[in-house]
Chain A
Amino acid sequence: MNIQTTSLYRRRKLFNQLVMGACVAATLVGFLFLFAILFTLVTKGLSALSPSIFIERTRMSGGGLGNAIWGTVLMTSVATVLGTIIGVAAGTWLAEYGGKGWMAKVIRFINDILLSAPSIIIGLFIYAVVVVPMGNFSGWAGVLSLTVIIVPVVIRSTEDMLRLIPNSLREAAAALGAHRWWIIVRVCYSGARAGIITGILLGFARISGETAPLLFTSLNSNQWNFFRLGDEMANLPMTIYQNMTINAFIPDLVALAWGGALILTAAILILNIAARYFSRQRS
């Protein structure tokens, strides 16, 4: 081997090490930032946590986050139920009937756009079509804006999961005399159940942290509203936002906001892990 090739080898090896070093550095920097955020969240959040935070309602002095947590749980749950009904039905049509037709292609494309549309736009939309005609901010408006956000997520995962069911299963059921709707309900859904539930859980996690669509729909409230979705509804993300901005001059409320942020993030991470657990059961 002459000197020229050895030096070429050396240069290639050196360059490779440099770039791979840069990749490792990128990984470290990326994770460093993300861990810094989690660290701040945990340290600031833990000091604000106490049992009373879950029980007391929000007040200008003292108080807790009880009504806000309840409002978020209620609104996201109702939105998830509505979103599941609409999303599973539409996703089923796309996977089982739409196929490669132009209508299905258009719907799929539009759904993908809605999947990543800015959530504040959804808030403006619901404001224009629900809040203005009704005349006041309401929990229902919040529920609807969250529904609009979760529906595309559920449609996408339902369709993807149903497509994983082999056609031979459908054909076998049809050969036994089953009607198409019966095949879908009994054969396809039972095979895709875990995947669909995963999608729903991921969507649930996503909408529980959404703030922007609630700004002009459910607004916020410092009362216990329980099931009165017709009124302005307290919710965790809006409470955090208000405590960090217009109420930021009150240190106690800022501390509460960090406590709320920790609760919210922990809940979302747990939902994500649960979703992963479900999808692992499938395989």
Chain B
Amino acid sequence: MATNAIQTDSGLGRLSEATRKRLQRKARIDVLFERTLFVFAFAVLLLLGAIIASLIASSWPALQRFGLDFFTENRWAANVEIFGALPAIYGTLLTSFIAIVIAVPVSFGIAIFLTERCPGFLRQPLSTLIELLAGIPSIIYGMWGMEVLAPLLRTWFPTVFPAGTGLATAGIILAVMIIPFITAVSRDVINTVPAVMRESAYGLGCTTWEVASQVILPSVKTGLVGGVVLGLGRALGETMAVTFVIGNNLFLNTTLTGQGTSIAALIANQFSESDGTQRSALLALGLILFLITFVVLAIARYLLRNSTGRHA
């Protein structure tokens, strides 16, 4: 934009003094406008830098004191100042994994139904409904999990879920939470396939399933995977849907259905009553969570770079 000002200057010889002043002022506004906007855009970069820097700085005391033990110790016992991240990391990864295993087939099923088989009059309402459901705050899912799902699981499968709560319950809740999200992204991605491709496959005599599995899904594979990874990123960092139902057991319990904890749940439960080393250790957990989700989200964005979804 700086060149703009010079160009206008050189062409102004024939204009009156007043017009020239006016135009020069406008050109200055132009430069100022661009610079101001850029400051705000640059603030986004600073924000990410500040988040990482502040997390590292405030978790440094704990990381320095425990070193690698922080990642290998299998319990989180604040009273004896033993802080092991392993139970929380295990819980975070396992609950997200369970959620993805349940949510992906269901979401793809819904997306295929919506795009390929749904009667015309239902398509728009169901799509809108899915998008609206994706907006329900996560605390609602957590409350429902605690008050409805956990008691149900306890009554129906008392041997598998003696308490109703646990890692698997949290995984199920997360699955229900990310189903609308993955469905909405998948539907958008599938809708980018040109109608011609679909029609030619049908013209060759393919069944709906053959069209979907041989033509549509392969052509938008990366987009679909991107949507799933985005859902995974959401499940990894989810706090409220998990805290209510995960059981808050601070010892490593390498089962699928046992009580456990996750990074986000542990932070939510202990942070406000913590201080000193414990607080620093919790911030170190936050740093770990941020790094995990950063990698996952970066992968998702890389895979989704060609799709035009506008999802959060």
Contacts and interface: CB of A to CB of B under 8 A. Distances in A.
B237 A121 contact: yes
B147 A112 contact: no
B55 interface: yes
Contact of A116 (B37, B41, B268, B312): B312
Interface residues of A, number: 93
Contacts of A120: 237, 239, 264, 267-268, 286, 289
B207 A114 contact: no
Nearest to B38: A93
Contacts, number: 254
Given A16-B209, A34-B133, A118 B310 contact: no
B289 to A, nearest CB: 6
**B interface secondary structure, majority:** helix
Interface string B25-47: 01101100110111011111101
B176 A34 contact: yes
A30 B40 contact: no
**A interface secondary structure, majority:** helix
Contacts of B210: 12, 16
B42 A107 contact: yes
A244 B271 contact: no
Contacts of A155: 41, 44
Interface stretch (B64-72, B76-84, B135-143, B194-202): B135-143
* Top 10 closest pairs, chain A to chain B, by CB: A118-B237, A209-B137, A26-B109, A16-B207, A89-B40, A181-B33, A93-B37, A212-B239, A93-B41, A90-B41
Interface of B: 1, 4, 26-27, 29-30, 33-34, 36-38, 40-45, 47-48, 50-51, 54-55, 57-58, 105-110, 112-114, 117, 126, 128-129, 131-133, 135-144, 146-148, 176, 179-180, 183, 207-210, 230, 233-234, 236-240, 243-244, 264, 267-268, 271-272, 283, 286, 289-290, 293-294, 297-298, 300-301, 310, 312
28 contacts: A16-B210, A37-B141, A89-B41, A90-B43, A94-B41, A96-B37, A110-B48, A113-B298, A117-B290, A118-B236, A118-B289, A118-B293, A124-B55, A128-B283, A129-B54, A179-B29, A184-B33, A205-B135, A206-B135, A211-B137, A237-B240, A240-B143, A241-B240, A261-B139, A261-B140, A268-B136, A272-B135, A273-B132
